[in-house]
Amino acid sequence: MKKYLSVFKISFAQEFAYRLNFIMWRVRNVMQIILVFFLWDTVFSNPGRVLFGYDRAKILTYVFGIMIVKSLVLSARAADVAGDIYRGDIMNHLLKPMSYFKFWFTRDISSKALNLLFAVGEFAFLFIILRPPFFLQTDLLALFGFFLSIALAIFIYFNLLFMTSSIPFWAPELGWGSHFLITAIVIEFLSGSLFPIDILPLTIQKILFISPFPYLIFFPIQVYLGRISGSVLLGGLAISLFWAITLWLVMNFIWNKGLRAYQASGR
């Protein structure tokens, strides 16, 4: 446990070593929120309007919720595993008396802690400037469901990242490309981090809800907003748990296959 605490501390400090890199990443997140906020602000310029089942307060809370949930779920360092593999650096880690998965999970947690810290600051800053109507959830059960769904989302995302990062075991040149396609495009759009999934036609929603993606961002925020509760909430949490376990097993399978195929190029 002590060694992972050290990894946490070092990772935290490391983020500050590349301050400009980190600040730019946060600036980019804020830009994206501004785009989405003003789009929905325009759509709901009439305060009494209800569209796609959202009123102005709930849709703008969704937009602000994206900031916090994204910093908790989608902030991660495990994407760097791909680089470790194609550069051959993974060999250094595998020889150490430390679980490679736990090492990266600790780094992810460190990244999430730092990003959350900044996201809260940005949240407060944008909230003061934009003064949106905000829906404050007070139901303890909904809040418990919200935090539980986030914990599962973090685990689902960790597995998805590791699976994507495993591709260079077989195709080293696809490290960045696969993350661009899966992380930056597919997960970004299908998780609900740009718009709520339920504005899409019902058929597309049904297909998407079979996949793990909506359980990363959309589902936790819906739970917070109280739009999902009771048996639907339990069903959603069960599907999240199913994906967390299934992806963990699949990721382990892929990882073990990858290690056997690995030629340690560059070493």
Partner 1 sequence: MSRNSFSIFLSLKLSFLIFLTGKILRFIFFISFLFFILQGTKTLAGYTSNQAIFFFLTFNLVDVMAQFLFREAYRFRPLVVSGDFDLILVKPVNALFRVLMGGADVLDLITIPPIIFAVYYVGRLLSPTTAHTVLFLLLIINGLLIATAFHIAVLALGIITLEVDHTIMIYRDITNLGRFPVDIYKQPLQGILTYLIPVGIMVTLPAKALMGLVTPWGIVSSFVLGIVAIILSLRFWSFALTKYSSASS
Q: Does 261 bind partner 1 (CB under 8 A)?
A: no
Q: Which residue pairs from 131-134 have beta carbons closer than 8 angstroms and sit at least 24 positions apart in sequence?
A: 132/37, 132/41, 132/57, 132/60, 132/61, 132/63, 132/64, 133/47, 133/56, 133/57, 133/60, 133/61, 134/57, 134/60, 134/61, 134/64
Polymer length of the chain: 267
Q: Of the ranges 63-71, 114-122, 135-143, 178-186, which one interacts with partner 1 (CB under 8 A)?
A: 178-186
The residue count for binding partner 1 (CB under 8 A) is 32
**Shortest separation between residue 162's beta carbon and partner 1, angstroms:** 18
Q: Give the Cα separation of 71 and 153 in Å (integer).
A: 12
**Shortest separation between residue 169's beta carbon and partner 1, angstroms:** 14
Q: Which of 14, 34, 143, 151 binds partner 1 (CB under 8 A)?
A: 34
Q: Nearer to partner 1 by C-beta: 44 or 219? A: 44
Q: Does 57 bind partner 1 (CB under 8 A)?
A: no
**Shortest separation between residue 208's beta carbon and partner 1, angstroms:** 12
Site for partner 1 in 112-171 (CB under 8 A): 171
Q: Nearer to partner 1 by C-beta: 188 or 244? A: 188
- Other CB atoms closer than 10 Å to residue 151's CB: what's the count? 15
- Asked if 14 contacts 77 with a C-beta cutoff of 8 angstroms, the reply is no
The 181-210 site mask, x for binding partner 1 (CB under 8 A), equals: x--xxx--x----xx---xxx---------
Q: Give the Cα separation of 138 and 5 in Å (integer).
A: 34
Q: Of the ranges 68-76, 176-184, 225-233, 255-263, which one interacts with partner 1 (CB under 8 A)?
A: 176-184
Q: Phi then psi for 76, rounded to 5 degrees?
A: -160, 155
Q: Nearer to partner 1 by C-beta: 146 or 179? A: 179
Q: By CB neighbour count within 10 A (0-12 exposed, 13-18 middle, 19+ buried), where does 30 fall?
A: middle
> Identity (one letter) of the amino acid at 132?
P
Q: Phi then psi for 51, rounded to 5 degrees?
A: -140, 140
| Nearest partner of 216 among 161, 164, 173, 168, judged by Cα | 161
Q: Phi then psi for 253, rounded to 5 degrees?
A: -60, -50
The 4-33 site mask, x for binding partner 1 (CB under 8 A), equals: ----------------xx--x--xx--xx-
**Shortest separation between residue 5's beta carbon and partner 1, angstroms:** 31
Q: Which of 180, 207, 266, 267 binds partner 1 (CB under 8 A)?
A: 180
Point out which residues bind partner 1 (CB under 8 A): 20-21, 24, 27-28, 31-32, 34-35, 38-39, 41-43, 51-52, 171, 173-174, 177-178, 180-181, 184-186, 189, 194-195, 199-201
